Amino acid sequence: MKADPKNVLTGSHYLDGNYACAEGAIAAGCKFFGGYPITPSTEIAERVSQRFPLLGGVFIQMEDELASMASILGSSWGGVKSMSCTSGPGFSLMMENFGLGIMLETPCVLVNVQRGGPSTGLPTLPGQADMMQARWGSHGDYEVIALAPDSPQESFELVIHAFNLSEKYRMPVLVMTDECVGHMTEKVVIPPAEEIELLERKYTDKKPGEALPFEPTSDGVSPMIPIGKGHKFHITGLTHDYRGYPVINAETQEKNVRRLIDKVNMHADEIIWLEEKDVEDAEVVIMAYGISSRVIQPAVAKARKEGIKIGQIKMVTVWPFPEKRVRELAGKVKSLIMVEMNYGQVFLEMDRCAAGKCRTYLVGHAGGTVHNAVDVYNTIKEAVK
C-alpha cells in the first residue's frame, strides 16, 4: 500500500533529524503519539502535536514515560499505528512496557534520541551508550530490531521503515538516533506519496472462536486479532499459550520465548541492513552506526589516500547484529574496528563474532561529542600493522 498524500509533505525541506522523524511517522500513517518531554527528543513530539490536528491523529502528552509506552500499546491494539519518542532516563522508564509490547507482540515504533548517560548525564549532548539497553533493557529473553539513522534524511526514511518492520514482524521497533542527528539541520527530500511503500498489518481471516492471538505460523509471525469484532480474545504479559491464556510452566515459557526469538532470527538476513564500501579487498574493516558512521569519513579517506586497504560497514540496523557477516570478515581481514560513542557496547558483539580470528579495536569514548578524526585515524594505522 502507498502512503496517503494527505500525510506526506512532498518536497525539499530544511529539517532537523527530530522533525524528520516526526515527518517519517506521519508519512507512515501514524495516528497516535503518546509522549513525554525530554531533551533532546522533544522536538519530535512538538512537531507531531503541531501536525496531527488537521490529519485526524491524536497527540497526547502523557504524565510520564511509563504511561507513554503503555498508551501506544493500547492504541496499537485499537488498530492505530502508534509511536513515542524519548531520551536518556525516559528510555529506562519505557523499558517496562517495551517488554509488554514484546510479549504481546504489538507493532509500534519508539525513537530514542540518545544523550550521554548514566542517569541524567548529558541532556543536551550526544551519546550512543543506550545500544545494549536497546538490546537487553527490559527483563527477560527476547530479540529486538533497532535502526540507527545517520542524518535527518535517514531519520525520515528509517522511521517509515521501522513502522513497516513493526507491522511485518508484529513487534515494537526501535529507532536509535542521537542528539547530533536529532539537532542537525540538513536538506531532507520527501518523495511523493506514491513512492512511499507502507506495509499494513496482517489480521487474521479466521472467524471468532477460531482465531488465536499467537497462532503458530510457518513464518513465525501470527496475524493479529482485531478488537471489537467478536473475537473476545485475551492477551497477557504473563507467559501464555497460543490462545493468549496464561500458563505458568517451563514448557509454555519455552514455546512463548522461542517464538519471540525465532521470529527475528528466522528473518535476520532480511532485516539486517548494512551499507558496505570497499570491503571486498580490505585488510581492515571499520564499522560504525548512526552519526559515528559519518564522523569516520575524513579518517577513512586519509587512510585510503595513503594506500591503506580499508573498507567500511555502516550498520543501518544494529540489532539484530550482523553476526554472519562479521564471522565471514573476521576470517579474511587483519582487523575489525568499531567506532561508537560509548565504551564498547556493539563492539562486544563484533569482538564475540570475530572469535579471535582477527584483531578487534574499539574507538570509543563516554559521549558528549562526536569522535575526533585523529583518534579514528590512529586506530586505523594501528589496526593495519
Contacts of 296 (CB under 8 A, 6+ apart): 286, 288, 312, 339, 371, 373, 376
Q: Kindly state the smallest distance separating residue 242's Cβ from other proteins, in Å.
A: 13
Q: Kindly state the smallest distance separating residue 56's Cβ from other proteins, in Å.
A: 3
Residue 207 interacting with other proteins (CB under 8 A) = no
Q: Kindly state the smallest distance separating residue 142's Cβ from other proteins, in Å.
A: 15
Site string for other proteins, 88-127 (x = CB under 8 A): --------xx-xx---------------------------
* Maximum Cα–Cα distance across the chain: 69
Out of 18, 41, 76, 177, which residue is the one contacting other proteins (CB under 8 A)? 76
Q: Residue 314 in contact with residue 275, Cβ under 8 Å? A: yes
Given the complex with other proteins, which of 96 and 283 has the nearer CB atom? Answer: 96
Tell me whether residue 30 is exposed, middle or buried, using C-beta atoms within 10 angstroms of its C-beta: 0 to 12, 13 to 18, 19 or more: buried
Given the complex with other proteins, which of 55 and 274 has the nearer CB atom? Answer: 55
Out of 17, 24, 35, 57, which residue is the one contacting other proteins (CB under 8 A)? 57
Given the complex with other proteins, which of 79 and 368 has the nearer CB atom? Answer: 79
Give the 3-state secondary structure of residue 308: coil
Out of 37, 223, 237, 344, which residue is the one contacting other proteins (CB under 8 A)? 237
Q: Give, in degrees to the nearest 5, the angle at Cα 198 between 137 and 134.
A: 10
Residue 338 interacting with other proteins (CB under 8 A) = no
> What distances in angstroms separate CA 44 from CA 16, 48, 271, 372, one per listed residue?
10, 6, 25, 28
Residue 67 interacting with other proteins (CB under 8 A) = yes
Scan residues 28-47 and list those touching other proteins (CB under 8 A).
29, 31-32, 34
User: Which position has the grid cell 503519539?
Assistant: 33
Contacts of 31 (CB under 8 A, 6+ apart): 52, 55, 56, 57, 58, 80, 81, 82
Q: How far from chain centre, in Å, is Cα 123?
A: 21
Q: Kindly state the smallest distance separating residue 6's Cβ from other proteins, in Å.
A: 8
Out of 81, 115, 161, 371, which residue is the one contacting other proteins (CB under 8 A)? 81
Residue 63 interacting with other proteins (CB under 8 A) = yes
Residue 245 interacting with other proteins (CB under 8 A) = yes
Q: Residue 262 in contact with residue 105, Cβ under 8 Å? A: no
Out of 9, 37, 79, 241, which residue is the one contacting other proteins (CB under 8 A)? 79
Given the complex with other proteins, which of 238 and 374 has the nearer CB atom? Answer: 238
Q: Which stretch binds other proteins (CB under 8 A): 26-34, 262-270, 281-289, 344-352?
A: 26-34
What count of other Cβ atoms lies within 10 Å of the Cβ of residue 246? 14
Residue 55 interacting with other proteins (CB under 8 A) = yes
Given the complex with other proteins, which of 70 and 282 has the nearer CB atom? Answer: 70
| Residue 322: all three cell numbers together | 550482523
CB-facing half-sphere around the CA of 305: CA atoms within 13 A: 7
What count of other Cβ atoms lies within 10 Å of the Cβ of residue 375? 14
Number of residues that bind other proteins (CB under 8 A): 51
Residue 228 interacting with other proteins (CB under 8 A) = yes
Residue 54 interacting with other proteins (CB under 8 A) = yes
Out of 232, 280, 307, 385, which residue is the one contacting other proteins (CB under 8 A)? 232
Given the complex with other proteins, which of 187 and 234 has the nearer CB atom? Answer: 234
- Give me the phi and psi of 173, to 5 degrees please: -125, 140
Q: Give, in degrees to the nearest 5, the angle at Cα 295 between 289 and 298.
A: 130
- Please give the residue ranges that form the binding site for other proteins (CB under 8 A): 4, 6-7, 29, 31-32, 34, 53-58, 60, 62-64, 66-68, 70-82, 96-97, 99-100, 227-238, 245-246
